[in-house]
Structure 1
Amino acid sequence: MRPENPSQSDHDEDAVNDLAETAPGRLGGAIGPRGARIGAFALALVGVLLLARGVAASNAAVGLSEASSEGLSIPRWLYVATGGAAIGASALLAGFVTDRGFVNRVHEWRHGLGTRDRLRGVGMAVGSLLGALLIALIVYRGITGPQVSTINFAVVVVFAGGRAGLTMAAYAIGNPWPALNPFRAVTSRLPTGVVDYPERLGRWPAVAGILLLIWVETTTGVTNKPNLLAAAVAGYAVVAFAGAVLVGSDAWFRNADPVSAFFRFYGRVAPLAWEDGRLRLSLPAMRLVEDWADESRRDGGDGQTVDADDTRLVRGLDDVAIAVALVWELTFSGFVTTEQGASVIRAVVGVGLPPILVYAVLFVAGFAVFYGAFLGAARIAVRRILTTRTPRELVVAFAPSLLVIAAGYHLAHYFAFFLSLLPSLSAVLADPLSAPANPVVFTLPAWVSALNIVFVLGGHLVAIWVAHSTAYQLFPSRLQAIRSQYPFVFVMIGYTAVSLWLISLPSTTPAFLG
């Protein structure tokens, strides 16, 4: 870590102690620290109670789910504003936790579950065979099966099983893709590495790949055209195999493969992970708080770290873009599958623009806004706290907190979707070579939709704590650590308001794409 000015750090420590003991009025007039805590907690509680209404989230797989939401009985502006206030209140509460030892104990806690190297090896072998079989069946049944999305093996397995279920497993339990990835299992045993992977590219190819997959899912109709989905999966398989052979299995799946990057980033949120050959349990999302105390692990000028073991998840702006993309892609799919979003797109197309151009501009511009907002927060933070750290260092350090937000978004979009299609998923997996004669879809009780609020707010609240812990890793001064978070919290509040607004809207088939 770059040492901060010692005199400035001492001054800041005195200032934060004064703030906690004698000058809480800066936060709210004459109230004391206890009053500020109570007020912030009350605001957060009121927000959660007010928001605990039934609403349904949308998702891109509209070919499988035609969900609609009931109207809110409270004004939508109040609903959205209160959600943002709840996040702000949680940040205020986190700011009062200034015991560095306690903060470190929370994210450093680990519990070993025993050595399972042999079991892991067997699981990897079985998993890769299962992954190869599933991909073959997806391509085969996508072409030969009934071209009805609700009963076709390919569509149900890819979207209910993979897009929803496997992703939820990644951030709830641990990253399953290394075990299921058949391409890595095969290419790791072949002579590969015809050319060296260009290190200057970093993980930007994975960023482009993730955005391309989102675009294909949202705009091409693969969610309700099984033969088109089969072609897309076959195309991905060819690219993954060829890329791994060309530049090497490790280089390809670590830097360029979008599916591997997608699951790797979500998997870091999970409480289970293999560390030093042992399966270890941690508190959910706490592995996102990375060690910034060791100077040898700092981000290099080319966006790579000089750390040999390469355990840090986010190392440069390319990794930041992946974290932002995981948040943006759910926001984009949520917007275009709402009635209001479809109305906006119809209105713009009505002036004479091609629909695909409208979607492209919205997709790219929205990602640029989300990405730019996070970069801007880092620049503002550097100016506010007079640190020797650069905006690049701050944005890289705080980016992992976005993954908890993305996990909350994903759960809100896909939890009810997964539950409703669980019978169909079980039926096609039990008999993949024939379509179910009487597909069953669960009709969920209305209260399930209220969980969407819990998922979104819960993700943001945990993200606030991850950012809080990260700040204490970055700065020796508690006041600097607290103040550095504020710009990022404001960005998170913006993300919260947008996501809450989207899940409050009724969903529909995307305009011109259904």
Structure 2
Amino acid sequence: MTPSRNDVVVAHGIGGSTDLPVPLEYAMLGATWALAISFAVLALAWRRPKLDPRSPGAALPPWVTRAVDGAATHTALGVLGVAITGWVALAAFGGEPGPTNGAPGAFYVLLWVGLVPLSLVCGHVWAYVSPVRALHHAACRALRRDPATGVWTYPERLGYWPAALGLLAFVWTELASPDPGALTTIRVWLVGYVVAGVLGGLAFGRRWFERADPFDVYAAFVAALSPFGRRDPASSTPQARRVVARNPLSNLAGLPVDHGIVAVVAVLLGSTAFDSATGTSWWLTEVQTWYAGSPVLAVAYRSLGLLAAIGAVGAVFVLAARATGGVTSVQRRELPSELAHSLVPIVVGYVGAHYLTYLVEKGQRTLIALADPLDRGWDPLGIGGLAPSYWLSEHPHLLAVLKVGLVLTGHVLGVIAAHDRCIRLLPRAHHLTGQLALMLVMVGYTFLGLFLLFAG
């Protein structure tokens, strides 16, 4: 029997108020004070731009750069990525459907959620682990072509839009499709992603992965908040490519701005908010009764709800970013894209809070299931007999502090990133008044995130 959505794919992992024993009003009060104090401090003490992706930072030993940029490292990571993908494919194509099959968990837990801590800690390591990048490099080597270039030049007007659409397709599959946990669904995604990635890379070169690959762009956005970066990201000289440790917000300020960047962050934030909303008592007792017993209506309602959440997040942010004076009409249109990077910490904080126990606990179950992808008694890593630990869920007070802390930290960092960019872009007379609407929207995101976190 194919595992149900509740067995395999439910991405809530957040529990209800009984699992988060901190009164909601206390969390809201704390959020209000944290954001009010942070904005007051910024207004008084942060009057000049300080976040610069080309700031010197602290240079790491030269061997770190040599190891990161070494061909052997890239080859090893690429082989590892292809091997892991192949192992998951064994479970998807050869394993038996059921709760012991690890393919759905690998797709929805280890990949989608696991990319966040991996990218935060290691930077954009996905660029080297990505199986489609590795297969693209292998294909280019066989064809004796430069992997950086393709048959055609990637159309600049597309920007991040293909990645935004790919991410939307993924979150729709997870949150609104009829049977996201079915092995058929996983097979289609595996084959489609690999084929599209390799062909896209051959057609447009490296730019395809930097702008159109949904998981690559997702990882790059999160990795922009990593404490590790290059001395001068825009340069290709060996000295400028030196790996350094610097303020993560300075690295974030260097996130490339392009068409569709707002759509990417809106999909990431809006889909997580929608996932939380579907676990609230209001959705379960009110909305769900409208489509109970009808799979077609269920898909329709969930699809509309998902699109509405993403659209609302994006539209409110665009309106708030443009609500300033002292700029030309062209500058006003560009402001949402220029400020979109400030939503990345909010996305990371909310995703971390929402999926924390999901990643830790269901991630263990997934790894144990993947130890034997074909149900033949394999256990090469010796983990098949282990039992997952639920220690985090057994300490609800600690879990509540971690989740509220992740949300608040993400929003405070977002406020700082937005403030620094605003005083860089806006005329001096509008440094504070020009960002008030954006600050209010971020406060609203904070309150909504906490409410959904506790109401789920």
- TM above 0.5, yes or no, is yes
Question: Does 2:57 align with 1:110?
Answer: yes
Give 1:476 deviation, angstroms. Answer: 5.8
Structure 1 residue ranges without an equivalent (≥5) = 1-57, 291-311, 507-514
CA–CA distance in structure 1, aligned partners of residues 51 and 173 of structure 2:
42
Q: 1:458 to 1:60 in 2, by over 3 A?
A: farther
Match of 2:136 among 180, 187, 194: 187
Q: 1:429 to 1:73 in 2, by over 3 A?
A: closer
Give 1:365 deviation, angstroms. Answer: 1.9
The one-letter code matched in structure 2 to 1:277 is R
Give 1:211 deviation, angstroms. Answer: 0.7
CA–CA distance in structure 2, aligned partners of residues 252 and 289 of structure 1:
22
Give RMSD over aligned pairs: 3.1
Give 1:170 deviation, angstroms. Answer: 1.0
SS at match of 2:61: strand
User: Match for residue 253 of structure 1?
Assistant: 209
Report matched runs for 1:166-185 at 5 Å. Answer: 166-185=115-134
Give 1:485 deviation, angstroms. Answer: 1.9
Note if contact 1:59-1:333 (Cα within 8 Å) is conserved in structure 2: no
Report matched runs for 1:461-476 at 5 Å. Answer: 461-475=412-426
The one-letter code matched in structure 2 to 1:355 is A
Give 1:271 deviation, angstroms. Answer: 0.9
Q: 1:159 to 1:107 in 2, by over 3 A?
A: same
Q: 1:486 to 1:173 in 2, by over 3 A?
A: farther
CA–CA distance in structure 1, aligned partners of residues 268 and 103 of structure 2:
23
Q: 1:452 to 1:74 in 2, by over 3 A?
A: closer
CA–CA distance in structure 2, aligned partners of residues 399 and 142 of structure 1:
36
The one-letter code matched in structure 2 to 1:463 is G
Note if contact 2:103-2:183 (Cα within 8 Å) is conserved in structure 1: yes
Query: Can you list the C-alpha shifts for 1:195-220, whole angstroms capped at 9, x where unaligned?
Result: 44333222211111111111011123
The one-letter code matched in structure 1 to 2:168 is L
Q: 1:141 to 1:63 in 2, by over 3 A?
A: farther
Note if contact 2:12-2:276 (Cα within 8 Å) is conserved in structure 1: no
Q: 1:422 to 1:182 in 2, by over 3 A?
A: closer
The one-letter code matched in structure 1 to 2:75 is A
Note if contact 2:349-2:410 (Cα within 8 Å) is conserved in structure 1: yes
Question: Does 2:352 align with 1:411?
Answer: yes
- The size of the alignment, in residue pairs, is 420
User: Match for residue 317 of structure 2?
Assistant: 374
Note if contact 2:342-2:418 (Cα within 8 Å) is conserved in structure 1: yes
User: Match for residue 387 of structure 1?
Assistant: 327
The one-letter code matched in structure 1 to 2:281 is E
- Once the two structures are overlaid, the 10-residue window that deviates more, 92-101 or 323-332, is 92-101
CA–CA distance in structure 2, aligned partners of residues 156 and 237 of structure 1:
18
CA–CA distance in structure 2, aligned partners of residues 65 and 72 of structure 1:
12
Give 1:118 deviation, angstroms. Answer: 3.7
Give 1:265 deviation, angstroms. Answer: 1.0
The one-letter code matched in structure 1 to 2:59 is G
Q: 1:277 to 1:64 in 2, by over 3 A?
A: same
Question: Does 2:217 align with 1:265?
Answer: no
User: Match for residue 277 of structure 1?
Assistant: 241
Give 1:111 deviation, angstroms. Answer: 1.2
CA–CA distance in structure 1, aligned partners of residues 108 and 207 of structure 2:
28
Larger Rg, first or second structure (1 or 2): 1
CA–CA distance in structure 1, aligned partners of residues 374 and 337 of structure 2:
47
Match of 1:243 among 181, 200, 210: 200
- Once the two structures are overlaid, the 10-residue window that deviates more, 107-116 or 398-407, is 107-116
The one-letter code matched in structure 2 to 1:279 is V
Structure 2 residue ranges without an equivalent (≥5) = 1-5, 234-239, 378-383
SS at match of 2:455: coil
User: Match for residue 498 of structure 1?
Assistant: 448
Note if contact 1:375-1:395 (Cα within 8 Å) is conserved in structure 2: yes
Note if contact 2:22-2:397 (Cα within 8 Å) is conserved in structure 1: no
Note if contact 2:14-2:355 (Cα within 8 Å) is conserved in structure 1: no
User: Match for residue 50 of structure 1?
Assistant: none
Note if contact 1:214-1:329 (Cα within 8 Å) is conserved in structure 2: yes
Q: Structure 1 length as normaliser, TM-score?
A: 0.73
Q: 1:233 to 1:441 in 2, by over 3 A?
A: farther
Q: 1:261 to 1:93 in 2, by over 3 A?
A: same
Report matched runs for 1:85-164 at 5 Å. Answer: 86-100=34-48, 103-104=50-51, 108=55, 110-115=57-62, 116-120=64-68, 121=70, 122-149=72-99, 151-164=100-113
Note if contact 2:211-2:217 (Cα within 8 Å) is conserved in structure 1: yes
Q: 1:441 to 1:225 in 2, by over 3 A?
A: farther
Give 1:193 deviation, angstroms. Answer: 3.2
CA–CA distance in structure 2, aligned partners of residues 406 and 196 of structure 1:
31
Give 1:124 deviation, angstroms. Answer: 1.5
CA–CA distance in structure 2, aligned partners of residues 222 and 259 of structure 1:
21
The one-letter code matched in structure 2 to 1:387 is V
Note if contact 1:184-1:249 (Cα within 8 Å) is conserved in structure 2: no
SS at match of 2:350: helix
Report matched runs for 1:223-238 at 5 Å. Answer: 224-238=181-195
Report matched runs for 1:339-350 at 5 Å. Answer: 339-349=281-291
Question: Does 2:25 align with 1:83?
Answer: no
CA–CA distance in structure 1, aligned partners of residues 12 and 313 of structure 2:
28
CA–CA distance in structure 2, aligned partners of residues 184 and 171 of structure 1:
20
Note if contact 1:60-1:218 (Cα within 8 Å) is conserved in structure 2: no
Match of 1:440 among 363, 374, 388: 388
CA–CA distance in structure 2, aligned partners of residues 440 and 221 of structure 1:
29
Note if contact 1:314-1:320 (Cα within 8 Å) is conserved in structure 2: no
Q: 1:114 to 1:75 in 2, by over 3 A?
A: closer
Note if contact 1:64-1:223 (Cα within 8 Å) is conserved in structure 2: no
> Identity percentage over the alignment?
24
Give 1:484 deviation, angstroms. Answer: 2.2
SS at match of 2:317: helix
The one-letter code matched in structure 1 to 2:307 is V
- Once the two structures are overlaid, the 10-residue window that deviates more, 428-437 or 122-131, is 428-437
Q: Structure 2 length as normaliser, TM-score?
A: 0.82
The one-letter code matched in structure 2 to 1:100 is R
Match of 2:164 among 207, 212, 215: 207
The one-letter code matched in structure 2 to 1:406 is V
User: Match for residue 364 of structure 1?
Assistant: 307
Note if contact 2:58-2:245 (Cα within 8 Å) is conserved in structure 1: yes
SS at match of 1:280: strand
CA–CA distance in structure 2, aligned partners of residues 181 and 441 of structure 1:
29
CA–CA distance in structure 2, aligned partners of residues 455 and 107 of structure 1:
27
User: Match for residue 333 of structure 1?
Assistant: 275
